[in-house]
Amino acid sequence: MNDAPPDYGRLAAVGPYFALDAATAPGEDPPPGFRPLREFYAPGPDGPLARRVREVARRLGTAEPRVAASVLHLGLAARFCSVGLGAAVLLGEVPDLGADRARVRVPEQGPIDLWLPYRPTAEPAPADRAPLADRFRRTVVEGQLADLAAAVRAAVPLSAGLLRGNTASALAGALRVLDAHAAPGTAAPARALVAEVLGRPPLAGTGTLTGTPGGSAFRRTSCCLYYRVGPRAGICGDCCFTRAPGRR
C-alpha cells in the first residue's frame, strides 16, 4: 500500500459527474459546506433529501412527487455510477462512498459534490476484470445505491424495479461518457465491466446493453417517469417506451 492517496484528479478530467475530491493527508477536514452523506439521507418530511425532492418538483413544474423523486434518484445514481466506474477503469479501484464515510455538498445547480477522508492508495487491481466488477457491484450497486434507493423510497414511495432501472440507466450513461472522453484502451474494459454488472443480480433484467460503432447503447425495461413532467417532456433515449404513454 502506498502512502499517497489515489489520483482522483484523473476522474475530473472525464467530466463533472466523475469528479471526486478527497483529503490528501490524515486528519484533513472537508471544505466548507460538506456534510456526512448519512445526514443528507435523514428521513422525515423536513429531511434534506425530502426537501430536495420538493425543489426538483418545483423546478420541473410537476405536482407528482414520485416523478421528481425518480428524476432526483436518477441524477444521484449517475453521480455514484460515474465515480465508481471511472475509478474502476482508470485507477483500478472502487472508492467507498458509503453513507457513513462520504461527505456531500449540494450546489444550486449541477451534480452534487463528493468528498472522501484520507485513505492511502490500495494495491493495484489484478489484470482480470472479474474481481473488479465484483467489487463494483458490492460497493456501488449493493452498497451506495442500495442506501440511496432506501432513502428515496422513505421520502416518496417508488417501485423498487423503477429504481433498479434508474441505476442501470445511470451506469450505461456513465459508460457512454467514459467511451467518449477516456483515453484509448479503456473502452473495452469499461464495457466488459458494465456488461458483467448488468448481467448479474440485482441489475439483471433491467435492460439490454449493445455495442455500437460509436460506443454503447442501452434500452431499459422500465421507465423513469420523466414523460409525466408534461406533454413536451417526451421520453428518454433509453426508455422502454417508443413514445410517451397516454396520461389519464
Closest Cα to residue 95, out of 198, 187, 5, 4?
Answer: 5
Summary mean pLDDT of the chain: 90
pLDDT at 180: 86
Residue 185 in this model has a pLDDT that exceeds 60: yes
**Predicted confidence band at 120 (pLDDT cuts at 50, 70, 90)?**
low
28-32, 78-82, 120-124: which range is least confident on average? 120-124
Residue 129 in this model has a pLDDT that exceeds 60: no
Please tell me whether the overall predicted TM-score, pTM, comes out greater than 0.85 for this model.
yes
β-pair partners for 105: 113
- DSSP classification of residue 106: -
pLDDT at 231: 78
pLDDT at 116: 95
- DSSP classification of residue 22: E
Chain Cα centroid distance, residue 134: 17
Compute the distance between CA of residue 12 and CA of residue 5 in angstroms, rounded to an integer: 15
pLDDT at 133: 92
26-30, 51-55, 121-125, 221-225: which range is least confident on average? 121-125
Compute the distance between CA of residue 178 and CA of residue 189 in angstroms, rounded to an integer: 11
The pLDDT tens digits for 149-181 are: 999 999 999 999 999 999 999 999 999 999 888
What the block records as the C-alpha cell of 61 is 413544474
Compute the distance between CA of residue 164 and CA of residue 122 in angstroms, rounded to an integer: 29
The pLDDT tens digits for 193-239 are: 999 999 999 999 999 999 877 788 999 999 999 999 987 888 999 99
Q: Please state whether beta strands 207-212 and 113-116 pair in parallel, antiparallel, or not at all (unpaired).
A: unpaired
